[in-house]
Structure 1
Amino acid sequence: MTDSFDVKLILNGLNCASCVGRAQRALESLPEVQSAAINLAIDTAHVKLLNAQALSSVLNALEQAGYPARLQTLEFSVDNLSCASCVGRAEAALSTVLGVTQAHVNLANERAQVTFAEGQVSSSDLSHALASAGYPMGSRQDHGMPQSVQQRKDEEYAQLKRLTAVSFLLAFPVFMLEMGGHAWPAFHHWVMRTIGLQNLWILELILTTAVLVGPGRRFFEKGFPALVRRAPDMNSLVALGAIAAWGYSVVVVCAPWVLPDSARVVYFEAAAVIVTLILLGRMLEARAKGRTGAAIERLVGLQAKTARVEISGDIVETEISDLGVGAVIHVRPGERVAVDGVVLSGQSYIDESMISGEPIPVSKAEGADVISGTVNGTGSFVFRATAVGNDTMLAHIIQMVEQAQGAKLPIQGLVDRITMWFVPAILGIALITMAVWAMFGPEPSITHALVAGVSVLIIACPCAMGLATPTSIMVGTGRGAELGVLFRKGEALQQLSGAKVVALDKTGTITAGHPALTNIVLAEGRKQQVILPLIASVEAQSEHPVAAAIVRYASENGAKPAHVTDFQSHTGFGVSGYVEGQKVLVGAARFMETDNVDVSAFGDTCHVWAQDGKTPLFAAIDGVAVAVIAVADPIKIGTREAIAALHAQGLTIAMITGDNKSTASVIAKELGIETVIADVLPDGKVAALDQLRQTVGTLVFVGDGINDAPALAQADVGIAIGTGTDVAIETSDVVLMSGDLRGVVNAFNLSRKTMQNIKQNLFWAFAYNIALVPVAAGILYPMFGVLLSPALAAGAMALSSVFVLTNALRLRRLKNALPEIEANT
């Protein structure tokens, strides 16, 4: 299989769905491009290349299409440079980083200047490349380092805010002078007496020209080149509409003899107001689009900037980028954990809610794993770094969310097909509209033709179509990350909403995945505080999972183990040893029989437990049965509520397990699971899923273990419990960070709400254009004498995109599907 290279680029010039289609086609036309996905909401392109050398072709294709990738330059010092050979090796190391377009190293001042694709390359990537070649990166000087989506949108918003303000100041006098007279005849007469008609028009010409040349120049700089390339976009429509209104008015002012008297009307206010309102809409879009990536910004904000590292016995404040695996890091109360690691000493409780969505702090002691970005409580501890940089769990989460946010859902295919011809079709409709009005319209027909044609150009809004899907995906997947539900593949958002059956693995998914002591019954006259320490003392010598469960229960109940002599482990039977001179046996009934211990007194208890799927173990002291212990794999907290919630959504629940039929049936009955497939080997799970899919429909599988990986890959949507194995997580479509089934309910809820939001956006975008383009063309004029003003058309167009973005942002308020469970956990 040929290796592929994933590249993320940030593009300039994307304004509407038509832009997305053209950029997409430019990329897909390259033979080296395996796949490409453009996201209008965050101006990014995710490209899969067959070889790394193809990046230059991608950059050239985007440049030719009019959507160049953002390139950034970083300057920094390089250590250990001593000769020209060092320069060559350092430059070669930098050039190997996918996304670097130029790398220059200067031996004289020992500095490097690197140009690279924004979004694809980070300073840490360059630092690692140089360090591996033996030339560590020194101090750096940014020249426009890659910015976050929020930062870029904030800057864009600030710029558009300035342009809108200038445009408003220039356009407002034009609007008032021209339209004020229609509203107040006295004002009109005053203007005619003091300024005069010709002077009024000249003043409007000057102010409107200032609007078009100043704040409105961006539309012409982008729109007309797109027309020349025969690839018109939203800017082309705005530019044509504004220049048509302005040009017609200029003819009226400067060459009135060209037009009949009835057609000598100026539309300077329309041109000025069009630009002002479109800029206002773009400004509001930029503000809203920045907020769609808020979840990613919050995740990035979780990353610590520095850490207190132990070096030769001293504690040194160190930049995170300088940390390596194995570093010993000290964490004080209230500090954020810098990188992933394992606790060496100390004890504390850590708030992991930003990672798992669970509100209860987690106890951490020696040997426990800690995760970067989580917040320490009141204790302090020391841990050893096991993953740094892009290898930390937080970095993986950010990467997964970004990939999901950049996904293109199947539903987007319809939008893409329509937007391919949308802008050319609008241009055609505008031309036809003007021709019909000019030939058949009432006098002044030329004026009516201009108004209708400009209105058609201005009111059409491919922006709303292009933003409808990606903004909802961004906000939905971002909110999912905050709730502990990570969509590794954005397509899962759509597939989940159509699922019919949820198949659950048992061990580790429905149940905790490890045995626990659930019950203990003592013989008459025996006391737990006496018996339990003896049992725990013997079991503490064993490494069996059941022994660990018994010792854990004893420790939680204050039992302290004593010294044990002559310990023996009897495989398949139990354990024995002497504690304080007493012979202690713990094991199955057959083990008791070998030592002639009578356990008949516990017969009824064992029978009841067997009905509940629990395994009985007996304890005997000096040949006398003193207790019976029930061990079972307990059902996870929240499982019952989650299954009930899934049933309430009309889903069929199935359980697939390698356990025996009787144990599986007991659990299924308790939880209300209607379909049980037991005694299944790992490859049998795939066959079981195929059978369920054929009989029920679209299928979701939830699992956590290595043996679940084939099933997770085979299911229509695979959901991995985040506390499971890396293999299971890597083969899944959705990851639950909380490690229990409540996250499945959240995943379904997110999917359905997001798809509902996308459909609302698409309905608005299409309905808006279908309804208002004919109105702009003048369809209401024969019946009601109504002809839409270009200025009103511009306002309506601006509001359509803002509506779509605002509707998508509602997903940020999506609540936990089972809040009462969270509160009681």
Structure 2
Amino acid sequence: MDDHQHLAPTQADPATGHGDHGPGGHDGHLGQFRRLFWTMLALAVPVVALSPMFAALVGYDVPISGWTTWVPPVLGTVIFLVGGRPFLSGAVSELRTRTPGMMLLIGLAITVAFAASLGATVGILPHHLDFWWELVLLIVIMLLGHWIEMRSLARTSSALDSLAALLPDEAERVEDGATVRVSPADLREGDVVLVRPGGSVPADGRVVDGSASMDESMVTGESRAVRRSAGDTVVAGTVATDSGLRVEVTATGEDTTLAGIRRLVAEAQSSSSRAQRLADRAAGWLFWYALGAGLLTALVWLLLGEPGQAVVRTVTVLVIACPHALGLAIPLVVSIATERAARGGVLVKDRLALERMRLVDAVLLDKTGTLTRGEPTVTGVETVGARGAAEVLALAAAAESDSEHPLARAIVGAARAQDLVVPPAVDFASSPAVGVTATVQGSQVRVGGPHLLAEHELDELPVAAEWHGEGATVLHVLVGGEAVGALRVADEIRPESREAVDALHALGMQVVMVTGDAQAVADSVARQLGIDRVFAGVRPEDKSATVAGLQREGLRVAFVGDGVNDAPALAQADVGIAIGAGTDVAIASAGVILASSDPRSVLSVVELSRASYAKMRQNLWWAAGYNLAAVPLAAGVLAPVGFVLPMSVGALLMSASTVVVALNAQLLRRLDLRPEVSARRVA
């Protein structure tokens, strides 16, 4: 139930279902409740102090005079009309929309107390129905509860809004060799901006000059800085940690990755779910339960000849049974969970998918690009004679340095990664299906496959048979027509993949791999990672059939793929997870998008699903259980043994239940969703 949107015309905030009231949003709303609470508290003090009933309870005498008699009703009426206005206007709105809820219950309660007190003051009703001091305490305590609740909501909203704060206040646009400071909103595609060391990238773009280690944790959740140089893409909000860059703007404003992430989070927070629908139905039932209990309470106490108790008990029942905490139980958890997820590089598009993740039995992982890097890498060097592995790799890199072939880039990249000195090469030549030839340090160096060896009538090195059996590509290095070594080139397994598989096993899940590669390649990867089942030689369009086959076995399947060729499988799975999406946050087929390429991020999704579900259950049980147990006490079932629940204590308990739910949801903020942390926690 939305209990605040009636204060003023609002635009609904999708994060919580509460209104965003004018300038300042939740912050302005929070200030409004704070000011209202303190003002009403100041006015309530003389009302309570000059109440004969309160004075009798505490043990002092109220001086009898005209002004002391009229202070409680006058200030009590002001507090009812001003402090009670949010609840009264909310009750009217709920009646107009035919969605009775918390505001109507509170509105009825304070109206009954006000009418009884006013009637007693003017002499229409017996004097013992004068409840001015309890009425004002009721309103003040409920305002306090709402203020505390709004602090929780404002915290959640501001945490999400802080994603926008990642952008710098100013950008330095390069114009005619000089830099001009402009607002990021004034940037256009094609502009070149200067990003200084320690500065944030103002818009999505492509690096045109410079190289820097980029802190992308606010987008991908990965704690390690990533090196970006000319030709690489960078994302708005990421930080150049060690040196400057010149970046050509490719997207601005609402087209940037950061804006896309905020949209996804907002959509997830506003989308419905099974738990939310259950809470909404329960809140509706509790309204009628409270209304029925209030009417029954009034009837019983009137039949017992206690009109004063009839009013007090009825008001207390209506207040204490407000399903306020129940209305907050789910939205607050979802709001915090999705915001925390976004900061960990987990973007939730479908809340139902996130809810289902805790029930998954099998995780089906695409091999290429998920468990492996998706690009060829030198994974082994074998030498012949006196030359060492580093020398053979350096010679091969020299010969391949002018080639654009993926295998050539892998060899050159491997030499660069080892900081090898690569000698210059001349007379480069390339022959399709054979290899490359170049002159290096006065010697002819050739790098190639079986056809190259056939030309020189040479045999493969003994290790080649083993490498072929593992599905790797084997390239031999020849110097002066003699084989000096061989290179094993394969799609490298990510170092974190084994940790991810082990952690999924620890969670009791079956790990399955699907790939279009040959069986030998798939089996080699599966052996190294400890994967349970392998489906090899599967074309992209047939992966969805693999998912369906596992589902027919009775398994609930999460499919983890790259989100491009795997769209049908992502849609078929119980939970579709697009991994390594990076800047692409608009993948339609996935319910969950992982901005990083770390397979351990899947564990973050599982943890988030289980933690948020646990918080939802705890909040639902507390909110519903509290209402069901508190109503009989408020009605006065223990009156025969001398216990009656004061009206103000009922209001205090109602507010306390809301605060308990809000604080319990806030505990989700402790959940660290960084992939490496999730893996360690599970292990």
TM bucket (normalised to shorter chain) is: over 0.9
Picking from 447, 450, 468, the partner of 1:586 is 447
State the partner residue of 1:562: 424
State the partner residue of 1:288: 152
Flag structure 1 segments of 5+ consecutive residues without an equivalent: 1-12, 24-36, 45-68, 71-143
1:310-325 aligned at under 5 Å gives the runs 310-325=174-189
Q: Which amino acid aligns with 2:648?
A: A
In 2, Cα distance between equivalents of 1:508 and 1:728: 19
State the partner residue of 1:810: 667
In 1, Cα distance between equivalents of 2:679 and 2:292: 57
Q: Evaluate the alpha carbon distance shift between residue 610 and residue 818 of structure 1 in structure 2; reply closer, same or farther with a 3 A threshold.
A: same
Q: What's the TM-score, normalizing by structure 2?
A: 0.93
User: Is this contact kept in 2: 1:154–1:290, CA < 8 A?
Assistant: yes
Determine helix, strand or coil for the equivalent of 1:634. Answer: strand
In 1, Cα distance between equivalents of 2:582 and 2:139: 55
Picking from 122, 132, 149, the partner of 1:254 is 122
Picking from 231, 248, 270, the partner of 2:134 is 270
Q: For residues 213-258 of structure 1, what are the alpha-carbon distances to aligned partners after superposition, in whole Å with 9 as ceiling and x for unaligned?
A: 23223322332464476554322222221222222222223216x5
1:748-767 aligned at under 5 Å gives the runs 748-767=606-625
Flag structure 2 segments of 5+ consecutive residues without an equivalent: none
State the partner residue of 1:173: 46
Determine helix, strand or coil for the equivalent of 1:810. Answer: helix
Identity, in percent, stands at: 36
User: Is this contact kept in 1: 2:223–2:674, CA < 8 A?
Assistant: no
Determine helix, strand or coil for the equivalent of 2:483. Answer: strand
1:467 aligns with 2:328: yes
1:402 aligns with 2:263: no
State the partner residue of 1:47: none
User: Is this contact kept in 2: 1:163–1:215, CA < 8 A?
Assistant: yes
Picking from 3, 28, 48, the partner of 1:15 is 3
State the partner residue of 1:798: 655
User: Is this contact kept in 1: 2:362–2:511, CA < 8 A?
Assistant: yes
Q: Evaluate the alpha carbon distance shift between residue 275 and residue 305 of structure 1 in structure 2; reply closer, same or farther with a 3 A threshold.
A: same
The CA deviation at 1:664 is: 0.7
1:279-428 aligned at under 5 Å gives the runs 279-428=143-292
Q: For residues 536-593 of structure 1, what are the alpha-carbon distances to aligned partners after superposition, in whole Å with 9 as ceiling and x for unaligned?
A: 222223322111111111223323242332612232x433344344332222244312
1:502 aligns with 2:366: no
Determine helix, strand or coil for the equivalent of 1:408. Answer: coil
In 2, Cα distance between equivalents of 1:352 and 1:429: 56
Determine helix, strand or coil for the equivalent of 1:706. Answer: coil
Picking from 391, 395, 415, the partner of 1:534 is 395
**Higher-RCO chain (CA-CA 8 Å, sequence separation at least 6):** 2
Query: Mean alpha-carbon deviation: is it higher for 678-687 or for 631-640?
Result: 631-640
Query: Mean alpha-carbon deviation: is it higher for 423-432 or for 789-798?
Result: 423-432
User: Is this contact kept in 2: 1:585–1:620, CA < 8 A?
Assistant: yes
User: Is this contact kept in 1: 2:400–2:412, CA < 8 A?
Assistant: yes
User: Is this contact kept in 2: 1:455–1:777, CA < 8 A?
Assistant: yes
Q: For residues 733-783 of structure 1, what are the alpha-carbon distances to aligned partners after superposition, in whole Å with 9 as ceiling and x for unaligned?
A: 11111211111111110111011111111111111111111221222224x
The CA deviation at 1:719 is: 0.8
Q: Evaluate the alpha carbon distance shift between residue 206 and residue 40 of structure 1 in structure 2; reply closer, same or farther with a 3 A threshold.
A: farther
1:630 aligns with 2:488: yes
Q: Evaluate the alpha carbon distance shift between residue 751 and residue 583 of structure 1 in structure 2; reply closer, same or farther with a 3 A threshold.
A: same
The CA deviation at 1:209 is: 1.6
State the partner residue of 1:221: 89
Q: Which amino acid aligns with 2:580?
A: G
The CA deviation at 1:347 is: 2.0
Q: Evaluate the alpha carbon distance shift between residue 387 and residue 538 of structure 1 in structure 2; reply closer, same or farther with a 3 A threshold.
A: same
User: Is this contact kept in 2: 1:337–1:373, CA < 8 A?
Assistant: yes
In 1, Cα distance between equivalents of 2:582 and 2:473: 25
Picking from 29, 37, 45, the partner of 1:164 is 37
Q: What's the TM-score, normalizing by structure 1?
A: 0.77
Determine helix, strand or coil for the equivalent of 2:110. Answer: helix
Query: Mean alpha-carbon deviation: is it higher for 367-376 or for 534-543?
Result: 534-543
In 2, Cα distance between equivalents of 1:762 and 1:530: 66
The CA deviation at 1:729 is: 3.1
Q: For residues 78-124 of structure 1, what are the alpha-carbon distances to aligned partners after superposition, in whole Å with 9 as ceiling and x for unaligned?
A: xxxxxxxxxxxxxxxxxxxxxxxxxxxxxxxxxxxxxxxxxxxxxxx
User: Is this contact kept in 2: 1:461–1:800, CA < 8 A?
Assistant: no
Q: For residues 289-335 of structure 1, what are the alpha-carbon distances to aligned partners after superposition, in whole Å with 9 as ceiling and x for unaligned?
A: 11122431221111223211122333211121111110011111221
User: Is this contact kept in 1: 2:106–2:319, CA < 8 A?
Assistant: yes
Q: Which amino acid aligns with 1:454?
A: V
RMSD between superposed Cα atoms in Å: 2.6
The CA deviation at 1:285 is: 1.3
Picking from 443, 455, 458, the partner of 2:316 is 455
